[in-house]
A and B are shown apart, each in its own frame.
Chain A
Amino acid sequence: MKNDYFYIPQIEKRNAKAKRFHILVSSAIITTMAFLFFFLFTIIKEGIPAFKQSYIQVDIEITQELVENPYAINATLDKDIAKFISRSWTRSLPSQIEKNPDWIGKTVSLSALTNADVDQYLKGNNHKLSQDQQQKLDKMYEDGIIEFKFNKIFFTTGDSKIPENAGFFSAMVGSVLTMLVTMLIAVPIGLMTAIYLEEFAPDNKFTQFIEININNLAAIPSILFGLLGLAIFINFFGVPRSTPFVGGLTLALMSLPIIIVSAKAALKTVPESIRQAGIGLGLTKWQITRDHVFPLALPGMLTGSIIALAQALGETAPLIIVGMIAFVPDASTSIFNAATVMPAQIYTWSGMPEGMYIEKTSAAIMLLLGVLLSLNAIAIYLRKKFQPKW
């Protein structure tokens, strides 16, 4: 080695240093990934139990009186069992009897929703049951009187003050309505702006000003869009609070710059030769754009729009400001009725005192992440599949 002309005395040290650097940068990525997996693991671990719900088998003598006052069953049942049944189930008895009129006068065996305490106890979480009740429950669980079923309620009802009756359906409907408004406003305007800037705008100070302006708009904190929605849409234009309409408008303005920037990038990828060929054939600018440039850039534009909408779907802060955190159990039927959206529901549930909401929040997060990931996957698929290659 010593005779080697190229031998550098410090080389071992330097190589060791290089190796350490390699380890350092790798560890940065490993830490980030570890966090991601830890995060997903915690949410899934917390959320999975929410997809099952305990039900208790009860024999109930159905009388006409129950239609008037369903709570009368509490007197006929075993005292403890009556305490295990959810109120939301009891109050739905009359409508169940109405659907099955032949029940009246008979004793039927029904599967009743249990209340949050029973459910949480059986899942091993915090509860407020006495020692006595716990033993009774253990016994009933062994005997199969209490069993876990798939939690349909979570997917069919809206928010509720009764934790076991709380579902995510209304929030999903609210999100769909809000996204509809956002999409109908932001996508056309965004694409039109991008087309104008890329295809029609003269290169002057004014155009540059607009471009800078759009870039800055993309970096404005989302909560400030909420302030805009409150001051302009609600206070000035009198748009009703808490509705998908005002929420959608606010989110539309927020996603506008993202859509514009990505649509512009998509238009830039269309080769100049296509435009020149159009001009050569005597087409107008609009004809070239409509029939040639636009269709070629469409996959890229759609990808960008989907990603922007996915971002809007997960946004909460501006919606809180425009009042989309009201208590709305029913699924909204129109964009002018009060509604809540998925992330806002996650926010309100996370602040609820009852432990059962924690697992419901985690389950809701799983659903929301599922939707967002599939939207992104669709976007990526669209880009890969339809993007023309030059």
Chain B
Amino acid sequence: MLSTKTLLLPFISVAAIASSANANDQIKIVGSSTVYPFTSYVAEEFGATTGNKTPVVESTGTGGGMKLFCAGVGSNTPDFTNASRPMKVAEFEICQENGVKNIVGMKVGYDGVAIAQNKDNEALDLTLEQLFLALAQEVPSKDGKSLVANPYKKWSDIDNTLPNREIKMIGAPSTSGTRDSFDEMVMEHASKSFPVYNGEPYKKIRTDGVYIPGGENDNLIVQKLAQDKDAMGYFGYSFLEENRDKIKGVTLNGVEPNAKNISSGEYPIARSIFIYMKKDHMGKTKGLEEFIKLYSSEAMTGENGVLKTIGLIPMPSDEHKLTQETIKSLAVITPEMVKAGLTNPAK
């Protein structure tokens, strides 16, 4: 006959396996692909230096990230969301409705898009409007009253002070964050200066081969620029910085793309980027506060912080101090702040 012990054995072993299945103590981050590389870097640093698990960072886009973030509170929802623009009032309201009441916002810094060409070319200065005319699907006709399919093949067709060079722009595919920035800050912005668009943003890019989506591999764009003197390309500012030996920047409205001009706002294709945190998750997910503090630290987002080396354009030091104070006090954002597009409470 079998003893009770043998009968119990399977119970015990299976129960032991069951109890080892533990709860999830990992931070979850979603949101913009523009902010993704910076947040992943901080996440890695966080995992390597604090003994916490490395947060999982997923690129879902700013809008998609907000949707997930505002879906509610709980272990199945993300703790942070990255955003390449401030949170909208509508999104804030959805958040409130779903019980995500206390949100801490942090400005990460600035993101700039550089336009570059082969190093051996002559220096080139463009205006946003010229860039728009070169790349839009439909442009204002000669009399400026109607829209016609983009006829420009050479830069000199647009303005005869520009070089007699084929227009050829290699850029990001429509799914990337850089393309997102470019559409918003060049196309939308410039279209407002042409009355024929009625002041509405136009961001359709031509598809007749003049604009070449370059794929996710920005290195290939640089390689192509090094080979093809006609071509121009755009990518995150860091790529220009890294490859100054092969390519050089195109100035916009006479402003050189460099860190100083971007953080001062003088360079036109740059914008602020943010990360938002659910304060309600503090105490539920391990390490939330440590993570955001690390993110706001001098070593990360400060003027000489390490994120600068991977393409972030840091805030000026007084603004960074203000941000650090907000994070230190974990001040939540208010409807007024959301309306103004701010994350730091007014003094």
Contact = CB atoms under 8 A, between A and B. Distances in A.
A328 B59 CA distance: 12
Interface string A82-115: 0000011001101000000000000000000000
Given A71-B299, A128-B242, A326 B58 contact: yes
Contact of A338 (B37, B56, B299): B56
B337 interface: no
Contacts of A161: 37, 40-41, 44, 310
Contact of A242 (B24, B43, B56, B306): B56
A328 B53 CA distance: 10
Of A88, A242, A327, most B-chain CB atoms within 10 Å: A327
Interface string A265-294: 000000000000000000000000000000
Most buried by B among A161, A241, A323: A161
Given A161-B310, A353-B219, A353-B239, A323 B58 contact: yes
Nearest to A87: B306
Given A128-B242, A161-B44, A350-B217, 16 more contacts: A87-B306, A88-B48, A91-B45, A160-B44, A161-B40, A241-B58, A327-B36, A327-B40, A327-B57, A328-B54, A329-B48, A334-B21, A337-B24, A337-B26, A353-B218, A353-B242
A330 B40 CA distance: 12
Nearest to A170: B54
A358 to B, nearest CB: 9
A242 B48 contact: no
23 contacts: A87-B306, A88-B48, A91-B48, A94-B49, A160-B44, A161-B40, A161-B41, A161-B310, A162-B44, A241-B58, A242-B56, A242-B58, A327-B40, A327-B57, A328-B56, A329-B47, A329-B54, A330-B47, A330-B53, A338-B56, A351-B217, A352-B219, A353-B222
Contacts of A353: 218-219, 222, 239, 242
Interface residues of A, number: 25
The 8 closest A-B pairs by CB, nearest first: A161-B41, A330-B54, A327-B40, A338-B56, A351-B217, A329-B54, A353-B219, A329-B44
Contacts of A352: 219
Nearest to B218: A353
Contacts, number: 53
Nearest to B306: A87
Nearest to A126: B245
Contacts of B48: 88, 91-92, 329
Nearest to B309: A87
B319 interface: no
B216 interface: yes
B57 to A, nearest CB: 5
Contacts of A241: 58
A347 to B, nearest CB: 10
Contacts of B242: 128, 353
Contacts of B218: 353
Interface in A305-364: 323, 326-330, 334, 337-338, 350-353
Interface in B18-47: 21, 24, 26, 36-37, 40-41, 43-45, 47
Nearest to B56: A338
